[in-house]
Amino acid sequence: MSFQIKALEPTRLASFLSKSATPGEPATVRCLEANTNPGFPCRVSLRDAERGESVLALQYVHHDVDSPYRASGPIFVRASVVRQAGRKLARNEIPDFLRHRQLSLRAYDNGAMMIHAQVGPGNDLEQLIATAFADSAVAYLHIHNAAPGCFMCEVAR
């Protein structure tokens, strides 16, 4: 069983990064300083921000589909990587920032409908992915941080 974990490409974030705040509009991007490590997982570099590093917190549509499962939520992006390409992982490579977290895997079919979900420790991620992809109806997975529910990354077959 082969899989590919995908980082976000900064080009998908361009509309957020180019907006300036307008008085009276809600702020959809905030600059923060990472005060813990781990604690600020970057969806572009697939690494936790270092303590003291600037990160952008932004509202992001991570499941931009024509389905009841269209979804958005907050994500972090390290400010130092917003103009770089997203991290390219080898097939079956799992980034360390997923290993120390409790994760939720959401499995979707080709119609962008969730067909099952599971929760487990990041150290068991290979097995969790294998279990999900054992169902031939599963087209792709989304990994979320289980406690806060934030989107972490997508997994393709």
The whole-model pTM stands at: 0.90
| pLDDT value for 96 | 96
Q: How far is CA 88 from CA 5, 37, 93, 98, 139, in A?
A: 9, 22, 10, 15, 20
* CA atoms of 106 and 28, how far apart (whole Å): 25
Confidence band of 103 (pLDDT split at 50, 70, 90): very high
41 bridge partner residues: 48
Residue with the bigger pLDDT between 15 and 66: it is 66
Confidence band of 105 (pLDDT split at 50, 70, 90): very high
Q: Assess contact for 128 and 1: CB atoms under 8 A.
A: no
**pLDDT, tens only, 41-87:** 999 999 999 999 999 999 889 999 999 999 999 999 998 887 777 78
| pLDDT value for 12 | 75
**What value does the mean pLDDT take over residues 8-37?**
72
Query: Among the listed ranges 19-23, 53-57, 109-113, 121-125, which one has the minimum average pLDDT value?
Result: 19-23
* CA atoms of 117 and 131, how far apart (whole Å): 10
Average predicted confidence (pLDDT) for the chain: 90
152 pLDDT more than 60: yes
Q: How far is CA 157 from CA 12, 29, 41, 140, in A?
A: 22, 32, 23, 7
